Amino acid sequence: MAKIPVIKTVNLTKTFIIGNQEVKALNNVNIEIYSGELIIFFGPSGCGKSTLMSIVAGLQPPSSGDIFIRGENLADLDKNGLAKHRRTKIGIVFQAFNLINTMNVVENIALPLAFGGIGKGRRTNRALNLLEAVGMTEYKTHTPSELSGGQQQRIAIARALVANPWIVLTDEPTGNLDSKSANDIMRLLISLNRRSKRTVILITHNPDYLQYADRVIYLQDGQVIKIKVNTKSKATSMATEESVGKLKEEEGKGFSDFKPTAETKPSEPKEEIPKKAEEPKEKKGKKKAEIKEKEPQEIEEKKEPQEEKTEISEEESQKSEEEEEEKPKFKEGEGLRKIKL
């Protein structure tokens, strides 16, 4: 079965009228981007990078052509549908942060959830967990004006993640930062991409960042002139060295707690499945209780013998599984403090 791109454009064109002159910001752009990729749109100022990002985000329509998000044509969405698309499927990180100085950082992070009708307690809990994930818990009562540029960008990244989007779009996220803060933000974005398997698109004109992308899409004068595949992207090693290494011992914690939720994926069923289908998961849970260092494949191969050795009853294990499923996706930040960014 063919893999469906998370983003696909077909002859995408955007035209602006400036005075009496017609200017094509995008001209017949055809690209496909897949789930979990780290993509860089690269090119000089005015090449169409930001225009392409805004169309992906549903902020403006193309003049002609089509854009599909997980197979859904944005042209088929009405005003409310586009608003929901922006609120739930896309997270955006801007160069200028775009935080509200009359709100503290927790309120800024939680704000997108308020538009989705989520209660204050639940959205505050999510915001606090993400605040810990980006290493900013101690600043929870601060306003953006009391933070440095790098700290404000961390808050902006947390806000982009709060609704568990499929795609995170970042428009020159390091453009207003000093070199150290810029490297910290890049490390954070790479860690997010590698641990949560979320699609991250980075817009930049800085060639130093190209080595970290899975693919680089080069734009010039509104056209895609080249797509380069990095067979040995340095993103994995960079993220592992600085922020992901310790998480290998804490499987499922850190940014992997913030994967896109099942409720936002139309192609995937909810977690309410027959008990029989839960059985392999229960066995795997029992196995992990006794053997911590085994690889997932080894655990899978020895599920049956291990069931005889464990002292946990099947009834108790299933009850534990059901209690776990009832918990919210954002779990009180457990394990997130281990992230060193």
pTM for the whole structure: 0.69
DSSP track, 271-316: S---HHHHHHHHHHHHHHHH-SSS-HHHHHHTHHHHHHH--S-HHH
Give the count of domains, the chain.
2
pLDDT in single tens digits along all 341 residues of the chain: 568 899 999 999 999 998 889 999 999 999 999 999 999 999 998 999 999 999 999 999 999 999 999 999 999 999 999 999 998 999 999 888 899 999 999 999 999 999 888 999 999 999 999 999 999 999 999 999 999 999 999 999 999 999 999 999 999 998 888 889 999 999 999 999 998 889 999 998 889 999 999 999 999 999 999 999 998 666 555 544 444 333 333 323 344 444 444 333 433 333 334 444 444 544 445 444 444 444 444 444 444 444 444 444 444 444 444 444 443 443 434 433 333 33
Asked if residues 66 and 12 have their Cβ atoms less than 8 Å apart, the reply is yes
Q: Is residue 290 part of a domain?
A: yes
Q: Is residue 23 part of a domain?
A: yes
Residues 85 and 171 in one domain: yes
Residues 249 and 280 in one domain: no
Q: Is residue 13 part of a domain?
A: yes
Asked if residues 9 and 66 have their Cβ atoms less than 8 Å apart, the reply is yes
Residues 318 and 175 in one domain: no
Residues 310 and 178 in one domain: no
| Domain extent for 237 | 7-89+165-266
Residues 169 and 279 in one domain: no
Strand-pair category, 38-42 with 21-33: unpaired
Residues 186 and 84 in one domain: yes
pLDDT of residue 233: 65
Q: Exposed, middle or buried, 293 (CB in 10 Å: 0-12/13-18/19+)?
A: exposed
Q: Which of 243, 266, 289 is the last residue of a domain?
A: 266
Residues 27 and 175 in one domain: yes
Q: Is residue 217 part of a domain?
A: yes
Residues 303 and 220 in one domain: no
Residues 197 and 61 in one domain: yes
Residues 169 and 186 in one domain: yes
Residues 76 and 217 in one domain: yes
Residues 247 and 298 in one domain: no
